[in-house]
Structure 1
């Protein structure tokens, strides 16, 4: 039962987080960000938000800086939108899986072209 609740909270946070970042943040450092997933601890105290950012390493670093600076605002917005006794502490991490998938795709394409 608790596991289902944690999953539901994580999915709701992912949805709301995407909306907040896309429409409510005004920080110019935060560019095109996609929230790819949210992991919430079983006690709902902490949430790890996985994001994918379009751009080079410099753009990614600036975006992460902007998200870190806006963490308090984002957390209060989440608190207004999701009814929980305590809003989880938020930690942002880059989701490397999309980049890794693109890298593997490029390698396969290179091998394919080399074989022809």
Structure 2
């Protein structure tokens, strides 16, 4: 009986640990993941030609460590809440914009290349 009780206790501890770990991951995922859609445009239309995005936190004054890179004209990145600078380059044209990400909010950032 003591062996069965110990085994039951160990199983219960594992289940509780797994549940707590899953809950923490879910909470971290929702707190940190805000879906940001980046769209490069020309004549108010999405550019369907190659472009390259680099996203920096505004606190990174030297712009050494991008928080996201997107090697196409448009797409989605996950960013935590904060202030950002997005640079998009197509051929020899580079444009940038600053934007704010708020918690639990999806956002679309458009940058005109014309």
TM above 0.5, one fold? Answer: no
Greater relative contact order (CA < 8 Å, ≥ 6 in sequence): 2
Compare CA radii of gyration and give the structure with the larger one.
2
TM-score (norm 1): 0.26
TM-score (norm 2): 0.26
